Structure 1
């Protein structure tokens, strides 16, 4: 009974605000923040290495569309193919087709991080073909920034009460009300903290040893 008093009852509203029927959710917002933070970290590295900024400008667009399309298709095709193959327009548009006709704006209901990774790999390949840069040089710079994006994504998972941990009786267990009301390890929080520590480690290594590191060093660590 004493343990029950210490557990965290977790049931946040996934919607941050609603503007005239348009829902802004923590999930999408945190994904966006994660990509934006990575953008600034990679831009810092381009400037530090004195790489022509004209080569940097297209990187954001390649990465954004690669991550978005990959994460969305990854969710739809890996987790709910039976639904989305019958409703392909809902894969890329934030709407739901209504049975009686018409549509409703619902926002994007799922983004898969492993799909985002695959989309990013393809996007970088297209980017280096255009800019004539070395693929490993680019992924090294992105690897330094990637953990901060992953941190934001895991916090987004926490706000969505998804990717939950195993049942436990530790005092800091979370009771996910939208799941099964059993105390569980907050797996998303563990991963988020690990990614945050990894980000600061990568940033420290880059600032102190980046110019001496062999090609592929940061990508290998990440």
Structure 2
């Protein structure tokens, strides 16, 4: 257990969380991460839909459908992420200060809430347009890691969501994390939840996974649950919650556990669906 400031620790890079400030208006790296994640994801999704070879024929969703879908998903992510944070991470505070629940610019977004919000948005969108909900999930899941990667890098720049105290050679003293050196857990999450999952999904897509609707979505849910639970062993829990049980269980772990079962079920269910292009309705 570390009880004193470290003798040696990597210096935290001094990056201003605000990229540009014009009077009362400020453009923050965190907001840019959300915008860039949505735009890059939109571009990649349209490329997937325009590649018949990946689907065994014409894609079940046309590329132009994402011009509207991305707006629905953006609202789902933002609203779901904020509602999830309010409900699961700091409900007593927001009950006493309800107006603060609307101040998204003050921070406080939960991935699991944004995940649920985006799924609801895609369900409503595909139902309204008469499109394949499961294939829409596959396409969205294939590009979500891009946003996760950028978001975690923005968390690191902001010096927030730091890790637990540690004496590893790459530990850092965060500006608002006290005198102890800590795991840069935001970078662990960027590498696992973002880069690693993205690469695994791209390999699966090139191997024909999109031809079995639900495979990519299930793989993403399963891998994210595993990655998040693993990183939670290095990430400092939210101070208002602390550890929930046993001195190591966190809210992030609890919310990620159902994802393991859900992801495995989705993959199993996808394997029992007829492949696209097989001549049998999926």
Q: TM-score range by the shorter chain?
A: 0.7 to 0.9
The answer (yes or no) to whether the contact 2:78–2:114 under 8 Å persists in 1 is yes
User: Paired residue for 1:76?
Assistant: 86
Distance 1:57 1:25 in 2: 25
Distance 2:127 2:152 in 1: 32
Give, in angstroms, the shift of residue 86 of structure 1: 4.9
Give, in angstroms, the shift of residue 204 of structure 1: 3.2
Runs of 4+ in structure 1 deviating by more than 6 angstroms, as ranges, are none
Alignment partner of 1:150: what SS? helix
Alignment partner of 1:180: what SS? coil
Q: Which moved more, 1:64-73 or 1:43-52?
A: 43-52
Q: Deviations over 1:158-205 (max 9, x none)?
A: 122222222111111111121112111111101101221221232233
Distance 2:87 2:210 in 1: 42
Given the superposition, is the C-alpha separation of residues 23 and 85 from structure 1 closer, same or farther in structure 2, using an over 3 Å criterion? farther
User: Paired residue for 2:139?
Assistant: 141
Give, in angstroms, the shift of residue 22 of structure 1: 0.9
Given the superposition, is the C-alpha separation of residues 47 and 89 from structure 1 closer, same or farther in structure 2, using an over 3 Å criterion? farther
Confirm or deny that 1:9 pairs with 2:12: yes
Give, in angstroms, the shift of residue 27 of structure 1: 1.3
Given the superposition, is the C-alpha separation of residues 11 and 83 from structure 1 closer, same or farther in structure 2, using an over 3 Å criterion? farther
Distance 2:214 2:188 in 1: 27
With a CA cutoff of 8 Å and minimum separation of 6, indicate the structure with the bigger relative contact order: 1
Distance 1:73 1:67 in 2: 10
Distance 1:53 1:164 in 2: 38
User: Paired residue for 1:153?
Assistant: 151
Q: Normalized against structure 1, the TM-score is what?
A: 0.82
Give, in angstroms, the shift of residue 155 of structure 1: 0.9
The answer (yes or no) to whether the contact 1:11–1:161 under 8 Å persists in 2 is no
Given the superposition, is the C-alpha separation of residues 91 and 187 from structure 1 closer, same or farther in structure 2, using an over 3 Å criterion? same
| TM alignment of 1:166-185, pairs within 5 A | 166-185=164-183
Given the superposition, is the C-alpha separation of residues 11 and 119 from structure 1 closer, same or farther in structure 2, using an over 3 Å criterion? same
The answer (yes or no) to whether the contact 2:9–2:181 under 8 Å persists in 1 is no
Give, in angstroms, the shift of residue 79 of structure 1: 3.0
More strand by percentage: 1
Distance 1:131 1:212 in 2: 20
Q: Deviations over 1:141-167 (max 9, x none)?
A: 111111111111111221222222221
| TM alignment of 1:44-193, pairs within 5 A | 44-49=47-52, 50=59, 51-92=61-102, 107-193=105-191
> When the two structures are aligned, how many residues end up with a matched partner?
207
Confirm or deny that 1:33 pairs with 2:36: yes
User: Paired residue for 2:197?
Assistant: 198
Distance 2:210 2:89 in 1: 43
The answer (yes or no) to whether the contact 1:31–1:156 under 8 Å persists in 2 is no
Q: Normalized against structure 2, the TM-score is what?
A: 0.66
